[in-house]
């Protein structure tokens, strides 16, 4: 591993190492038996490849690190990747194919629809799924099944935590509106954000908030001028945005062109990470906060955070990894810990081992809640500032909110309940 000696590596992947002979080159000696195969099901083509490819790379880095430290139970980890094309039916086809090959420990499922499509087949196939990045509350609530786990934060945690940050950083911005797709996840994210605003502004800023009707969009729109004109008329000073990908880039380019960057004092963004500043460059809008699955700069003081970042930069040359890299990395670590605890790779045994399990990742300590298999973990937010560099922007602020402070009560089989909606 670039920049790390063997002792540091073994310390980072704690509990999975097999010690070698002192002073000798470290060469893992594998026990008899085939490798333990983990199945990645995610988008590796099309528009969503930009998310799936880095997630797979993070998983491969984790497997390399664990194998270099001796593997799990003396066996190598091997990642078997399948392209779900970001579509539920294709994901089921690929998951069934993996199970048919004996690969029953799966992860990925970036889109909520993909996770929902795979989940019904898990128990009957004695398979398990750790979803990475799908944040809809329903996955660990009304749609919950026992062989499913979520390695990421959920919608309730993320958007209430984002409201918490806004109340801390912008206590005088008390009039808010939003813009997001007219879809279930868009409305759900807005509900969580508003719920958080109504709790945290009175608690932190000692004032109430005014909520204006949000503006709705469609996926794949190329012109947002009608929606932006509606936003220009609102008295709100804070804007919640949950358009994503190319839609967000188009929206924010037009937003700046219409002068709304002078109207709104802050944008609270749901999930765009480095995609927006990388795409906009010198056209980047000011006062833009975004949620991130992992901000690498906030975890360089931990061995796993530093190891993952250095490995990623060495492999790609890119110094600004998306948080999706860490999601794949964490899922592989979780399975490694579960397999070790279970004493084997049988999915039912690994599921039991993962329930309530706490383990270290590149994003700090995670715990799978026993009741609903939701991970309890930090929620990350970054603010981008404009500067005179070639990029046109820089990271200006970073906040992490403890997941335990914003997580909802476990209610598997029942919908999440908001506190202040």
370 versus 34: which is more confidently predicted?
370
Checking DSSP bridges between strand 128-131 and strand 77-83, what pairing results, if any? unpaired
Residue 421, classed as helix, strand or coil, is coil
List the structure tokens of 126: 């004695």
Residue 2 has what pLDDT? 38
Checking DSSP bridges between strand 210-211 and strand 175-181, what pairing results, if any? parallel
Phi then psi dihedrals of residue 83, to 5 deg = -90, 115
Residue 28 has pLDDT above 80, yes or no: no
Taking the C-alpha atoms of residue 361 and residue 302, their distance in angstroms, rounded to an integer, is 9
Using alpha carbons, select from 200, 188, 257, 190 the residue that is nearest to residue 229. Answer: 257
420 versus 92: which is more confidently predicted?
92
Mean pLDDT score of the chain: 92
Count of CB atoms within 10 A of residue 346's CB?
16
Exposed/middle/buried for residue 206 (C-beta within 10 Å: 0-12, 13-18, 19+):
exposed
Give the pLDDT mean for 395-401.
97
**CATH for 156-292+379-406 (3.40.50.150, 3.40.50.1820, 3.40.50.2300, 3.40.190.10):** 3.40.50.2300
Taking the C-alpha atoms of residue 378 and residue 298, their distance in angstroms, rounded to an integer, is 11
- Please tell me if the domain spanning 6-153+300-376 has the same topology as the one spanning 156-292+379-406: yes
Q: For residue 274, what is the enclosing H or E element?
A: none
Residues whose CB is less than 8 angstroms from the CB of residue 16 and which lie 6 or more positions away in sequence, other chains included: 66, 69, 70, 71, 72, 336, 337, 340
Using alpha carbons, select from 281, 224, 286, 218 the residue that is nearest to residue 251. Answer: 224
β partners of residue 304 = none
Residue 13 has what pLDDT? 52
Is the CB of residue 288 less than 8 Å from the CB of residue 261? no
The listed range with the strongest mean pLDDT (13-27, 240-254, 355-369) is 355-369
Give the pLDDT mean for 252-264.
95
Taking the C-alpha atoms of residue 54 and residue 220, their distance in angstroms, rounded to an integer, is 23
**Euclidean distance between the first and final Cα of the chain, in Å?**
48
Using alpha carbons, select from 301, 300, 261, 228 the residue that is nearest to residue 384. Answer: 261
Residue 21 pLDDT class (50, 70, 90 cuts): very low
Using alpha carbons, select from 194, 195, 99 the residue that is nearest to residue 147. Answer: 99
Give percent of the chain with pLDDT exceeding 70: 92
Residue 194 has pLDDT above 50, yes or no: yes
Residue 33 has pLDDT above 90, yes or no: no
Distances (CA, A) of 132 to 42, 61, 111, 225: 9, 16, 9, 34
Report the top-level CATH class of 6-153+300-376: alpha beta
Count of CB atoms within 10 A of residue 380's CB?
27
Taking the C-alpha atoms of residue 304 and residue 15, their distance in angstroms, rounded to an integer, is 13
Give all strands (DSSP E) within 278-329, no chain letters.
Answer: 288-292
Residue 220 has what pLDDT? 84
Residue 18 has pLDDT above 90, yes or no: no
Residue 4 has what pLDDT? 39
β partners of residue 365 = 360
Taking the C-alpha atoms of residue 353 and residue 124, their distance in angstroms, rounded to an integer, is 19
Residues whose CB is less than 8 angstroms from the CB of residue 61 and which lie 6 or more positions away in sequence, other chains included: 308, 311, 312, 315, 325, 329
Give the strands of the sheet with 364-368, arranged side by side: 358-361, 364-368, 375-376
SS3 letters across 79-131: EEEEECCCCHHHHHHHHHHHHHCCCCEEEECCCHHHHHHHHHHCCCCCCEEEE
Residue 185 pLDDT class (50, 70, 90 cuts): confident
Residue 27 has pLDDT above 50, yes or no: no
409: which DSSP letter? P
125-173 tens-digit pLDDT: 999 999 999 999 999 999 999 999 999 999 999 999 999 999 999 999 9
Residue 32 has what pLDDT? 52
Q: For residue 70, what is the enclosing H or E element?
A: none
What residue ranges do the domains of the chain occupy? 6-153+300-376, 156-292+379-406
Phi then psi dihedrals of residue 234, to 5 deg = -75, 150
Taking the C-alpha atoms of residue 326 and residue 148, their distance in angstroms, rounded to an integer, is 19
393: which DSSP letter? E
Residue 124 pLDDT class (50, 70, 90 cuts): very high
């Amino acid at each position: 591993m670039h920049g790390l000696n063997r002792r540091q590596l073994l310390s980072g992947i704690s509990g999975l190492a097999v010690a070698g002979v002192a002073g000798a080159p470290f060469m893992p000696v594998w026990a008899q038996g085939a490798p333990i195969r983990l199945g990645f099901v995610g988008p590796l083509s099309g528009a969503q490849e930009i998310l799936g490819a880095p997630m797979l790379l993070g998983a491969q880095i984790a497997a390399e690190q664990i194998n270099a430290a001796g593997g799990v139970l003396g066996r190598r980890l091997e990642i078997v990747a399948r392209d779900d094309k970001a579509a539920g039916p294709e994901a089921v086809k690929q998951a069934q194919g993996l199970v048919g090959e004996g690969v029953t420990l799966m992860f990925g499922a970036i889109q909520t629809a993909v996770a929902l499509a795979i989940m019904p087949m898990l128990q009957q196939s004695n398979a398990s799924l750790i979803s990475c990045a799908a944040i809809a509350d329903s996955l660990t609530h009304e749609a919950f099944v026992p062989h499913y786990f979520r390695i990421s934060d959920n919608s309730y945690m993320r958007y209430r935590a984002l409201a918490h940050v806004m109340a801390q950083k912008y206590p005088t911005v008390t009039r808010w509106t939003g813009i997001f797709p007219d879809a279930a996840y868009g409305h759900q994210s807005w509900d969580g954000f508003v719920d958080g605003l109504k709790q945290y502004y009175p608690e932190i800023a000692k004032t109430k908030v005014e909520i204006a009707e949000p503006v709705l969009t469609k996926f794949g729109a190329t012109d947002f001028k009608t929606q932006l004109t509606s936003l220009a008329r609102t008295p709100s000073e804070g804007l919640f945005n949950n358009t994503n990908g190319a839609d967000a880039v188009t929206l924010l380019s037009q937003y700046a062109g219409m002068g709304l960057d002078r109207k709104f004092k802050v944008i609270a963004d749901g999930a765009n990470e480095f995609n927006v500043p990388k795409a906009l460059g010198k056209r980047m809008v000011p006062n833009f906060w975004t949620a991130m699955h992992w901000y690498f700069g906030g975890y360089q003081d931990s061995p796993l955070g530093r190891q993952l970042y250095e490995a990623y930069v060495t492999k790609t040359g890119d110094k600004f990894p998306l948080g999706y890299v860490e999601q794949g990395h964490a899922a592989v670590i979780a399975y490694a810990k579960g397999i070790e605890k279970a004493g084997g790779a049988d999915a039912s045994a690994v599921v039991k081992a993962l329930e309530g399990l706490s383990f270290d990742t590149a994003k700090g300590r995670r715990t799978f809640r026993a009741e609903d298999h939701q991970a309890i973990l930090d929620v990350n937010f970054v603010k981008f500032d404009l500067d005179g560099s070639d990029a046109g922007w820089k990271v200006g602020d970073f906040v992490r909110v403890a997941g335990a402070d914003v997580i909802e009560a476990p209610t598997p089989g029942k919908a999440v309940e908001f506190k202040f909606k």
